[in-house]
Structure 1
Amino acid sequence: MSQLLHNVNQRTQMAGENRLELLLFRLQNGQIYGINVFKVKKIIPCPALTQLPYHHPHVVGVANTMDGPLPILDMLSAIQSGKVTEPRKQQVIVCEYNRRMQGFLVQSIENIINLQWSDILLPPKGIGHRHYLTSVTRYNNQLVEIVDVEKVISEVTPSAMHMNAQLNDDFESLKTAQVPRKLLVVDDSVVARNQIKRCLEEVELESFLLKDGLQAYEHLMQLAHEGKDINQEYLMMISDIEMPEMDGYTLTRKVKADPRLAPLHVLLHTSLSGVFNKSMVARVGADNFIAKFDANELAQAVLDHFRLRSTQG
C-alpha cells in the first residue's frame, strides 16, 4: 500500500494545473468512490479499536496510533445504509480534514488515477439533497462517486459556527463604511457554502454562492464584459481549492491574469491544509489562505480586508 502513496509530494506539482489525483476505494456495497490524494496521509489495516461511551453511530471506535488517538469512521454507515460487520478486516484511509486527523473505514483500495478537474462533474440533478457527493467522474466505464467528506464529518463532529462578540462589535463599527457588503463564495460542498453563508450573515454581510470554479470564472467574466467594476460588485472572493470543472488555484490564476478582475481580493479557504498550500498562494497570486473551518478565523480575515477597503475610500 505504501507503494501507492510514495512520492505524494511530487504529485503536488500538478496543483495549479487544473489536475488532481484520486485514490479510489470500495465499500461493502460494491460501489467505487474517490478521495483526493492530497488529503491522504497513509493507509493502514484497521487496528484494534477502543469503544467510547455515547459515541456517534458512524464512529466504530478510536485507535491508539503513533500520532495519537485516531477516530475511525465507518464510511459505509455514514453515506449508505448498513454497517461494516468485521472492522478488523477492513482498510483505514487516514486523512487530514479541516485541521483534524480522521480515519475512514473502507473495504478495499483500488487505484490512484490522474484526471483533469474538467473530468470531474457535479452530481446529476434529481438525486435530492441528502446525498453525500460533491462530484462524480468515470473510470474504466465505471461511475466514481467523490464523497463530500466535509458533510460526513460535520454530521459526526459539527464545527463551532458562532464568532466571538468582539468580532461582531468590530464589524458593527464599520457598518457605515462605503464598501460592498457582498462576497462571492465558491465551494462545491453544500455544507461549506452554508457554513460560510451563516458566518457572513452573522455580521450582516451578503454572499453570492456558486458551486465550482468554472461557474465563478464565467460569472466574473460576464461582469467584466458588462463593464462592471469588480471591486464595486464584491468585497472579496472566498474560494475552495478542490472543485469540479475548474479548481481554485486555476480560478485564482485566471482572475489575477485579467486586469479587469485582478483587483478582486481572493481568499482560498480549503480543507487541504499544510505548508504546501500556503506556498501555492504566492504561486497563483491569491491574497490569503485559511484552512477550514474556524468561524472566528474566517471572520477575522474578512474583517481585516473590510477595514482595509474602508480606509481606501
Structure 2
Amino acid sequence: MSTLINEIDARTRLAGANQMELLLFKLGTNEIFGINVFKVREVMKLPELTQIPEADSRIVGMANIRGIMVPVVGLKRSLGLGTENDVQGDIGSGANPYLIVSEYNGSLQGFLVAGVDRIIRFSWSAIKTPPAIVRENNKGAVTAVTMLEDGRMVLILDVEKVLNDICPRTDDDVFASMTIVPELRSKCVLFADDSSVARMQIRKALDRLSMSYVIATTGGEAWHKLQALADQATAEGKERVDQIQCILSDIEMPEMDGFTLTKHIRADPRLAHLPVMLHSSLTGACNMEKGRTVGATDYITKFDAKMLGEKLALHIQAGNQQVKKAA
C-alpha cells in the first residue's frame, strides 16, 4: 500500500487542479471511511504493539517504526463505534489490521483500522459538507462526505478532531506566545477551514487580537461569501471590497480547495487587492511554490498562533499602506 501513496509534491499538484485522493478503509463496521492521502505518511500491516499502563483507553499501544515510538489510536473506539478486540490476537486469527500513520502538531500518530481498501481520486467539487445528522454522529469527527460510483457513502475523517479529543492542548499552551498588535484591533478576516478544531483555534486567536471575522467551512462557501461582499461593494459604488482586510484559507476543503479559491480571488478586481494567506498542516516545498503561483500572499503552517498573529499584522498593515498610496 505504501507504494500507492505518492510524494507530497505530486499530491500538491493534484490539489492545484482542485482534485484530491482519498485512502478508503474500514473499521469492522458497515461504514466506509476515508482519509485525505495528503495527511498520510505511511500505511503498513499492524506491527507488534507495546501496551502503555494507565493510558487513555483509545490508545491501544505504541509501535516502534524504524526507531520512532508512535502512539496507536484505536479508531473504532475513538469514533464511538465499539471497541477493538485483542488486536495482536486478531492478527493470529487471520484478520489483517493495518496501521495508518499520520502527522499532527509535528509528531507521528498511528490509526488502527480493520482493513485498507484502495486509493481513489475525486474532484473537490464532489466532496460535500455532511448533513447535521452525520456531523453529530461519530463525535463530530466526520468533516465531509462523498459518494462512490455504486452509491455508497464515504465518511471523511477530521484527523485533527480525533487527535485533539484524545490529547487536547490548553489555551495557555496554544496562545501563550501571541503578541497583541494594537493595529489589528477591529480589523476583519474571512477565514475558511473544514476542521472544527482549526476553526475554533483561529477564532480564539482572532478574539485575542480583538479582530472580527467571517467564518466559512468550505472553499465554496468562502467564495460565495466573498462574492456577496464584492456585489455589495459594487452596489455601493466602490471599486473594491473594504469590509474585510485579509483572507485566511485552508488548502484542502470540500467543494473548492484553497489554491482554486485563491485563483478566483485574484481574478476578481474587487477582491484581488486582499492578502490571501494559506493555512495548512500540509508540508512540502511544492505547497508553498503552488501557493505563490496562484497568487497567495503567504503560507502558514497550522497551528502556530504566534506566527499567525505576526503574519496578520505584517500583511494587513502592508495592505493599508497600499490603500493609502492608491488614494
TM-score, normalising length from structure 2? 0.86
| Range moving further from structure 2, 35-44 or 18-27 | 35-44
- Tell me the alpha carbon deviations over residues 146-180 of structure 1, each in whole angstroms, 9 at most, x when there is no partner: 01111111112223534336602xx13x367xxx6
Matched position secondary structure for 2:85: coil
2:64 counterpart residue number: 64
**Aligned equivalent of 2:94:** none
| 2:241–2:270 Cα contact (<8 Å) kept | no
- % identical equivalent positions: 37
Paired residue for 2:195, among 159, 178, 189? 189
State the partner residue of 1:75. Answer: 75
**AA partner of residue 143 (structure 2):** T
Using the alignment, how far apart are the partners of 1:65 and 1:308 within structure 2? Answer: 46
Matched ranges for 1:89-100 at <5 A: 89=91, 90-100=97-107
Deviations 1:179-235 (A, max 9, x none): x61110101112211110011101211121111111111211222222256552112
- Cα distance per residue 1:262-281 (max 9 Å; x no partner): 11111111122222212221
Q: What residue is the counterpart of 1:145 in the other structure?
A: 155
Is 1:167 the counterpart of 2:185 in the alignment? no
Change in 2 beyond 3 A, CA 1:101/1:303: same
Select the residue among 141, 152, 159 that pairs with 1:132: 141
SS at match of 1:93: strand
Counterpart of 2:120 in structure 1 is: 113
Unaligned ranges ≥5, structure 1: none
Query: How many aligned residue pairs are there?
Result: 307
- Give 1:9 deviation, angstroms: 4.9
Q: Structure 1's 263 and 11: CA in aligned 2 closer, same or farther, altered over 3 A?
A: same
Specify the code of the residue in structure 2 equivalent to 1:190: S
Deviation at 1:300, TM superposition (A): 2.0
Which amino acid in the other structure matches residue 83 of structure 2?
A: K
Which has the higher mean CA deviation after the structures are superposed, 111-120 or 50-59? 50-59
Q: Decide which of 266, 288, 291 is 2:276's aligned counterpart.
A: 266
Q: Cα deviations across residues 222-251 of structure 1 (Å, max 9, x unaligned)?
A: 222222565521121111111111111110
1:277 corresponds to which of 287, 294, 317? 287
Counterpart-to-counterpart distance in 1, 2:259 and 2:69? 33
Does 2:214 match 1:208?
yes
Quickly say closer, same or farther: Cα 1:193–1:229, change in 2 above 3 A.
farther
SS in 2 for 1:233: coil
Between the aligned partners of 1:154 and 1:187, the Cα distance in structure 2 is: 16
Cα separation, 2, equivalents of 1:156 and 1:105: 15
Question: Is the deviation greater in 96-105 or in 27-36?
Answer: 96-105
Are the aligned partners of 2:125 and 2:255 in contact in 1 as well (CA < 8 Å)? yes
1:157 is matched with which residue?
A: 167
Counterpart of 2:190, as a letter, is L
2:228 aligned residue (222, 225, 228): 222
* TM-score using structure 1 length: 0.90
Superposed CA RMSD in Å reads 2.2
- Aligned match for 1:123, one of 110, 125, 130: 130
Aligned mates of 1:132, 1:221 — CA distance in 2: 30
Partner residue of 2:318 out of 299, 308, 312: 308
2:38 aligns with 38
| SS, match of residue 304 in structure 1 | helix
3-state SS of paired residue (2:261): helix
Q: Deviations over 1:73-100 (max 9, x none)?
A: 1111111232211323320011223432
Letter in 2 for 1:15: A
- Summarize deviations over 1:107-145 as a string: whole Å, max 9, x none: 111111111111111111334644211110111221100
8 A Cα contact 1:230 1:264, kept in partner: no
Structure 1 window deviating more from structure 2 (205-214 vs 44-53): it is 44-53
